[in-house]
Structure 1
């Protein structure tokens, strides 16, 4: 089940790896860093001209505050290459329509927040490009807190939480801060690493977030769920996660958590080395498709590669490669069941899913796993899959499932 609480700080239960004495953040030299020319538009306000040094020691927060205050919609606040130490008693506020832009791969903001967020953004057509936001103190914080927005673009951004270095949580992006409807969030070519949650919306938020696109981004070594599209009191609609890399998550979280959502697509992603299930679908979500993904060494401790529970309907798992040849725990790679007891965290009844389709996948199995298990599922299909390493009797389990078409699968 998705971890559910009522405060921004407790929006995750923090993995055990977050605890312990602080130590220097790992460099993660094996992870891709953004590159390319900096973006500029409109009138340019250079933080160096406002007094920033970028030497990594001087507190440059005042120069950022002055530059952002001077910018108007359509302008750019430019942050040249360098390392900027920002001691922030209050979050930096990115005005509507303003682009905050660094030199991709070469501009680092080492933030020391005194409040619960480092940067806040709201309004129409704001953008952040080419910056690394890195937590530089053992404080509870969110690196980017998002209010009501329309057409917010985050590109070539690195969010670094040092969650393995500090005891306090550090989330990457918090959505739904105000109880409104937000539309058109784009996250592309970004890196989220060593955070607690990568992206989430707090449980008590009643905000509706519509039109989220996450593309070409990497999520690595986070201490809980990378993308948490879950808000029991609110909702997500029209979500696309495409061409992303998810890796190395030894936590009680997932690569993509989907709860109380509609119209979600996870496609052409690579997901490797997850303790729990890689994709988790629950709480009456509908019209969810997981396609063209490669799952390797996921569900290493428990549950699944893709788990579908709690009243979800019209969930399709199609054309993926599931490599479980190294798995030793007895999991089903695609597992559909009621899940839990009583009501979901969103107050909806916990019942088996309906209309679950598993088709055209390749399952490479160890002797310890099953390819597909349907428990009480009503309607759907298990067709056209290719299974290696298991017989037909061992590969597919139908436990109380009804009106499920099974055929055209091959076993070797």
Structure 2
């Protein structure tokens, strides 16, 4: 007469483990689909309603669905739901109906488990353990470790065992040096050269820096990537002409910092201030609005290119989120060596927003045999980097047009 099916989220999707089905909490993490023969609806009474409620007692009302095979059955089932409060009327479904609520129940459970998994993962991959970042590829979790962690096999085994308590997929450990190649080179011809070590990069944008709100004294500065140039280094043009000195950060170890270069007064009138001739806004845009959004950049090596943000969740390095960008033109990279420091722009609410600063590219995330990430550009979040500078130095920067 009746069939009751307990539907869990798909088994091949990695998630935190839930209690067994004998436990109340475990059953609430399920979707219940009930099917009755046609005559059942015509003979519905209080006793049968009691039987249904007893059978589905371990499920929340929002996760109970009644399956019907015709519009007539659906109408009868909806009337029963209204009368006896079996489940929301939107949860009465048929092959021809809109089953958004049914699939939405699965996504609700999946999203809840993924949030718990992400929270657990951040705890278990603390930088104190030598883990500098991670990335989730469907049922594969790639852990990026520092040099010390890659030497300590017992430590990696301990971390992997801890992770597998809440993750059923495969766990891989990779050295950060193996997977992230900074976009710097010794070749000549780019716009910014570190005169101390010869690294090449891009001048992202110019601006005016004030020390305090009460101090009207301003200085012209340029922004680039912290791994190209850091405090104390001399900034030169591609032809070797000095144009300034870097004042931030203290070192290039933290990839989530930008570099701030104080421009020599003798060079201010020689600077080319803009490329796109657009004002930019530095605001935080919600992640869900950035994913798959079209972005552009102008770098010293590849000039103007367009791309799309393809990864923004479950991707961290040194405890902070980073973004992955793929080019819109598969024949041309979004960035390459010498583009580090370029500003990643997107148009949002009719304004150009500076959302990122290019750090590196060609993230060999799964090994050389995998081609899916070979054209990726890795960028840090621009606002977060600027907030660290402003908070530490008590200075503000008003950027010129880009």
TM-score (normalised: structure 2): 0.27
* Bigger helix fraction: 2
TM-score (normalised: structure 1): 0.26
Bigger relative CO (Cα 8 Å, ≥ 6 apart)? 2
